[in-house]
Structure 1
Amino acid sequence: MFKIFNKNDNSKEVAKERLKLVLIHDRAHVSPKFLDMVKGDIIRVISDYMEIDEEGLDVKLTRTKRESDDTPIPALVANIPILKMKDRALK
């Protein structure tokens, strides 16, 4: 996700967040092409059950902490806007 600068943005903070994302991708050894492949697979799988807004689909790699010991680990996060459920998914 790209952030557009405006008057209220602190460019130092925006640059810092972008650098964090680059480091997360690098440490997890994940390329943008890989994320695109995952996004395509997610679309194919859930399309059997629901109609989604593919343009609004957002898949990104971020960082979270493991519950057991608070070790930082990469996490795949998907925001999937659902337009409607398909009939066969409701049965």
Structure 2
Amino acid sequence: MRIKNFFIRRKSREVAKDRLKILLISDRVNCSPEMMEMIKTDIAKVISKYMKIDAESMEIQISKTDSKGRDKTPTLYANIPILDLHKNIN
């Protein structure tokens, strides 16, 4: 995260929209909003080891999809903006 982005205040409308998305998604798969945030944070940490990403714009979604002949199973989708594929690894 860049320092200047830290001080930029998001509009309350955007924050409310993000919170509502998380609430609706978590309700569909019986996963609490807190758990969704922990999953998002963990995914961002792991991917950040290998490439530079925009974690603030990252979106995750869990939905139920049909599985070959079985009941619907939860599936995780992630939209993670990549800023740079070549991160210097120390």
> The TM-score by the shorter chain falls in which range?
0.5 to 0.7
Q: Which position in structure 2 is the counterpart of 1:57?
A: 58
Deviation at 1:22, TM superposition (A): 6.0
Counterpart of 2:71, as a letter, is T
Q: TM-score w.r.t. structure 2 length?
A: 0.62
Q: Which position in structure 1 is the counterpart of 2:46?
A: 45
CA distance in 2, matches of 1:49, 1:36: 21
Deviation at 1:36, TM superposition (A): 0.3
CA distance in 2, matches of 1:22, 1:34: 8
Q: Is the 8 A contact 2:26 2:32 kept in 1?
A: no
Work out the percentage of aligned pairs sharing the same amino acid.
34
**Cα deviations by residue, 1:15-56 (Å, 9 ceiling, x for unpaired):** xxxxx746523xxx3101001000010011010111011121
CA distance in 1, matches of 2:77, 2:36: 11
Structure showing greater radius of gyration is 1
Q: CA RMSD in A?
A: 2.6
Q: Which runs of 5+ in 2 are unaligned?
A: 1-16, 19-23
